[in-house]
Structure 1
Amino acid sequence: MIAVQNVAGTRVAVLGLGRSGRATVRALEQGGATVVVWDDGGEARAQAEADGLEVRDLTKAKSWDGVSLLVTSPGIPHLYPQPHPAIAAAWDAGVPVDNDIGLFFRSFATDAWDGFGTRPKVVTVTGSNGKSTTSALIHHILAESGRPSQLAGNIGRGVLDLEPARDGEVVVLELSSYQTDLARALTPDVAVFTNLSPDHLDRHAGLGGYFAAKRRLFAEGGPDRAVIGVDENEGRYMANQLSEGPGDDRVIRVSSGTKLEEASWAVFARKGFLAEWRKGRQVASVDLRSITGLPGAHNHQNACAAWAVARSLGLGPKAIEAAMRSYPGLPHRSQRIAERGGVAFVNDSKATNVDSAAKALQAFARIRWICGGLEKEGGLGPLVPHLGSVAKAYVIGREAAAFARQLPGIEAEVCTTMARAVERAIAEAQAGETVLLAPAAASFDQYDNFEKRGEDFVAEVRARLG
């Protein structure tokens, strides 16, 4: 547990009592604060009262007497499409609003670090797609190389649930736009930007606001080193903004598909090979094609970013390559779950938007594609150029028929349920093909989250394969 600093003797309000909210309460109490809480759910409030916490309706002006800070959970809107009433009330009362990420950055360093031989570091990873895989891969490389490491943030555990830093440790944080948008302190040592594609547009009032939320980690955080994916204009812009010129190696540019030989420091992948270039010459190369935990060009971009971080932390190429080869992959992200009769089964339920689904479709040669769900803003048009590898689509979701009509040039069967889709895909799949779940849509029309959807796919496949 990271005890929050500089809150002793103060009263702090916590809005939202999910995973991060509960951890925030404990960390504030450990730091000596008196905590009051509110959650829109009656069950969460009742549990808080049973735990001995003071529950206040923070939407009421009178609830702010004596409160010096509000800490809100990342899923609660603080500006768009409109601020939560409790946050608006905090503004009116003149109470600062922060989140657990801001508390972490102002509390992680302690006096104990004076006795360390090597100062701990924080690596942050943000972007639209690939940030979970990149974060987990960095953590895996560090662990395999014998470097103390913890992984938290938008993946795994809450940031304030981390253990206090050890000598030489590296903390790897996956951060969403919801987390970077509000945090009042952002001071990573190394920050990664993977890529940008339209997502969460209602929460950020459009693509510009979404990018601005990501950019805060670099513009306000001032990392010692920035690893920037430059396959989109937003990444190219940010790399240019952060760099002082061609010789500035504080910015490491990464790409999947583009040679970056002119940059002072770059890591890129082409045709399955990763190359690291520094000051105009190649210093390392790895064949990524046989690394089963990182299939496809999108995962090769993730590998480039993780490689760049590991190199910036002083790890050698051989150690990084060996660790990559043992990387098992993450559940629901290009997760190979079975193979039978020459047919592979891959769970990419995390492909909840068009861009991530397009990347998944480019990773395999011939695909029986399970797709569909709660369609996101913008439609499926950008997917059309990437349907060439699809032998057939099996569409799930409550609006499966409407989804299927947006897939021109391929056969699409309306299945509605996961059980029917898996049954039909298995019946028709041939050796050399891949049955791929990459929905290109949110899960909330049928499932609580993408994890539940992926678990259902895995269960249906295993039940039928025996």
Structure 2
Amino acid sequence: MIPVSGFEGARVGVLGLGRSGLTAARALAAGGATPVLWDDNQGPRSRAEDEGFETADLTRVDVAETLATLIVSPGIPHLYPAPHPAIAAALAVGVPVDNDIGLFFRSLGSGAWDALDTPPKVIAVTGSNGKSTTSALIHHLLKSAGKPAELAGNIGRGVLDLDPPGEGAVIVLELSSYQTDLARALTPDVAVFTNLSPDHLDRHCGLGGYFAAKRRLFAEGGPDRCVIGVDEVEGRFLANQIGAAPGDDRVIRVSSGTKLSGPGWSVFAKKGFLSEWRKGRQVAAIDLRGVPGLPGAHNHQNACAAYAACRALGLGPKLIEAGLASFAGLPHRSQIVAEAGGVRYVNDSKATNVDAALKALLAFDRIRWICGGLMKEGGLAGLAPGLDHVRKAYVIGREAEGFALGLPGVEAEICGTMEAAVTRAVAEAEPGETVLLAPGAASFDQYDNFEQRGNDFTTRVRAALA
């Protein structure tokens, strides 16, 4: 655990008692603060009290006035569509609002690094799609190269639950827009921006607010190196704002599908080959086509971002290439769960928006596509470039009929449930085809989360093939 510094003897509110909230409370207590906890649900409050923590209704202004600061869990809105009542109370009396990411950056080190010859580094990854795979891949590459590394944030452990890093260690953080938007301290050594597509628009009051939340990691954090995906205009704009000149190697531009030019530092993948260029010449190349854990152009972009981040820390291309070859991929992200009769079965339940689903469709040919769920804003028009890869769609979810109507030219069967969709897809799949779960929608109409949806798909596929 990383004890939180700077609040010794102070009362600090903690709002939301999930994984990050309880971890923050423990880290605050370890640093000498008095955490005061609140959750809208009685169950989490009772568990906190059983652990010995004080609970109090933080929505009351008289309680908020006793606090030095308020720490907020990422799922709780702090501005749009409207601040949570506890946050509104804190704002009314001028109590600073922060989150566990802000506490992490202000507490990491705390003077204990003076005796280290090589202080630890932090790599922080944000973006719309590919954050988890890129973060996990960076962590894997570091570990496979013999570097001490930990992975946390929006993936794995809460940031304050990490072990204090030692000599030459690297902490890899996946950060969502909810986390970067609120953190009062953001100081990574290397910051990574994968890409941008519309998501969480209600929480950020539109695409501009969503991009602004991501941009804070770079504008507020002042990282030594910035790895930026430039396949969208927002990434190109961000890279342009950070770079002081065309050859400024503080910025490493990354692309999938476009050969990047210019005197600067770039890493791009084209036709399955990763290339690194510096000062107008190629310095390394890796064939990604045979890496089973990274299928498709979207994963090649993740590979480029992870490669660039590791190069920014000084890892050699050959070490990185060896690590890429042994990466198994993450569950629910283009995960091959079975192969039988010449048919592949792929779980990409994490494709919860149209852009992610499109990337999954483009990664495979001749697809039996299981799709649908709780549709997001913006409609399904963005799927059009990938629909010619689809042999047939098997639509699930509460809005299955509406989803199917948004797939012009695609044969679509309304299945409703995962069980029905898997049964039909397995029965109709032919050798050389891929049965792909890439919903293009949220899971909450039928499942608690995308992991549960992906597990259901995997279980039913394996049962059908048994």
TM-score bucket of the superposed structures, by smaller chain: over 0.9
Q: Structure 1 residue 341 and structure 2 residue 341: aligned?
A: yes
Letter in 2 for 1:34: T
Letter in 2 for 1:119: P
Give the structure 1 partner of residue 329 of structure 2.
329
Rounded Cα–Cα distance in structure 2 between residues aligned with 1:148 and 1:208: 37
Letter in 2 for 1:377: E
Q: Structure 1 residue 414 and structure 2 residue 414: aligned?
A: yes
Rounded Cα–Cα distance in structure 2 between residues aligned with 1:194 and 1:263: 22
Rounded Cα–Cα distance in structure 1 between residues aligned with 2:273 and 2:52: 57
Give the structure 1 partner of residue 377 of structure 2.
377
Rounded Cα–Cα distance in structure 1 between residues aligned with 2:274 and 2:65: 57
Q: Write out per-residue CA displacement over residues 317-351 of structure 1, whole angstroms, 9 at most, x where no aligned residue.
A: 11100100000000000001110011001000000
Q: What is the CA-CA distance between 1:110 and the residue it aligns to?
A: 2.8
The answer to whether the 8 Å contact 1:259/1:270 transfers is yes
Give the structure 2 partner of residue 193 of structure 1.
193
Over the residues paired in the alignment, what is the CA RMSD in angstroms? 0.7
Matches within 5 A, 1:65-464: 65-464=65-464
Helix, strand or coil: the match of 2:212? helix
Rounded Cα–Cα distance in structure 2 between residues aligned with 1:227 and 1:398: 39
Letter in 2 for 1:162: L
Letter in 2 for 1:70: L
Rounded Cα–Cα distance in structure 1 between residues aligned with 2:339 and 2:110: 49
Rounded Cα–Cα distance in structure 2 between residues aligned with 1:220 and 1:45: 34
Letter in 2 for 1:350: K
Letter in 2 for 1:234: E
Rounded Cα–Cα distance in structure 2 between residues aligned with 1:463 and 1:63: 54
Letter in 2 for 1:152: A
Q: Write out per-residue CA displacement over residues 71-101 of structure 1, whole angstroms, 9 at most, x where no aligned residue.
A: 0001000000000000000011211000000
Rounded Cα–Cα distance in structure 1 between residues aligned with 2:115 and 2:43: 45
Q: Write out per-residue CA displacement over residues 418-443 of structure 1, whole angstroms, 9 at most, x where no aligned residue.
A: 00100000000011100000000000
The answer to whether the 8 Å contact 2:247/2:262 transfers is no
Q: What is the CA-CA distance between 1:263 and the residue it aligns to?
A: 4.1
Rounded Cα–Cα distance in structure 2 between residues aligned with 1:49 and 1:385: 53
Segments of 5+ residues of structure 2 without an aligned counterpart are: none
Letter in 2 for 1:3: P
Rounded Cα–Cα distance in structure 2 between residues aligned with 1:423 and 1:46: 43
Letter in 2 for 1:289: R
Q: Structure 1 residue 6 and structure 2 residue 9: aligned?
A: no
Helix, strand or coil: the match of 1:248? coil
Helix, strand or coil: the match of 2:388? coil
Rounded Cα–Cα distance in structure 2 between residues aligned with 1:399 and 1:246: 48
The answer to whether the 8 Å contact 2:293/2:327 transfers is yes
Letter in 1 for 2:346: V
The answer to whether the 8 Å contact 2:394/2:415 transfers is yes
Helix, strand or coil: the match of 2:32? coil
TM-score by length of 1: 0.99
The answer to whether the 8 Å contact 2:65/2:90 transfers is no
Rounded Cα–Cα distance in structure 1 between residues aligned with 2:48 and 2:161: 18
Rounded Cα–Cα distance in structure 1 between residues aligned with 2:38 and 2:338: 44
The answer to whether the 8 Å contact 2:5/2:110 transfers is no
Rounded Cα–Cα distance in structure 1 between residues aligned with 2:321 and 2:419: 39
The answer to whether the 8 Å contact 1:347/1:457 transfers is yes
Q: What is the CA-CA distance between 1:64 and the residue it aligns to?
A: 2.1
Letter in 2 for 1:159: V
Give the structure 2 partner of residue 43 of structure 1.
43
The answer to whether the 8 Å contact 1:252/1:267 transfers is yes
Q: What is the CA-CA distance between 1:310 and the residue it aligns to?
A: 0.8
Q: What is the CA-CA distance between 1:112 and the residue it aligns to?
A: 2.4
Rounded Cα–Cα distance in structure 2 between residues aligned with 1:399 and 1:305: 35
The answer to whether the 8 Å contact 1:124/1:174 transfers is yes
Q: What is the CA-CA distance between 1:261 and the residue it aligns to?
A: 2.5
The answer to whether the 8 Å contact 1:192/1:305 transfers is yes
Rounded Cα–Cα distance in structure 2 between residues aligned with 1:225 and 1:420: 49
Rounded Cα–Cα distance in structure 1 between residues aligned with 2:148 and 2:60: 45
Letter in 1 for 2:164: P
Rounded Cα–Cα distance in structure 1 between residues aligned with 2:45 and 2:117: 45
Letter in 1 for 2:318: K
Helix, strand or coil: the match of 1:283? strand
Rounded Cα–Cα distance in structure 2 between residues aligned with 1:350 and 1:263: 36
Rounded Cα–Cα distance in structure 2 between residues aligned with 1:64 and 1:309: 41
Letter in 2 for 1:399: E
Rounded Cα–Cα distance in structure 1 between residues aligned with 2:146 and 2:46: 44
Rounded Cα–Cα distance in structure 2 between residues aligned with 1:28 and 1:49: 16
Helix, strand or coil: the match of 1:245? coil
Rounded Cα–Cα distance in structure 2 between residues aligned with 1:283 and 1:372: 43
Segments of 5+ residues of structure 1 without an aligned counterpart are: none
Rounded Cα–Cα distance in structure 2 between residues aligned with 1:82 and 1:64: 18
Helix, strand or coil: the match of 1:387? helix
The answer to whether the 8 Å contact 1:265/1:277 transfers is yes
Helix, strand or coil: the match of 2:14? strand
The answer to whether the 8 Å contact 1:276/1:284 transfers is yes
The answer to whether the 8 Å contact 1:199/1:353 transfers is yes
Rounded Cα–Cα distance in structure 2 between residues aligned with 1:44 and 1:247: 52
Helix, strand or coil: the match of 1:102? helix
The answer to whether the 8 Å contact 1:253/1:263 transfers is no
Letter in 2 for 1:75: G
The answer to whether the 8 Å contact 1:273/1:287 transfers is yes
Q: What is the CA-CA distance between 1:66 and the residue it aligns to?
A: 2.4
Rounded Cα–Cα distance in structure 2 between residues aligned with 1:409 and 1:238: 37
Rounded Cα–Cα distance in structure 1 between residues aligned with 2:312 and 2:265: 10
The answer to whether the 8 Å contact 1:261/1:281 transfers is no
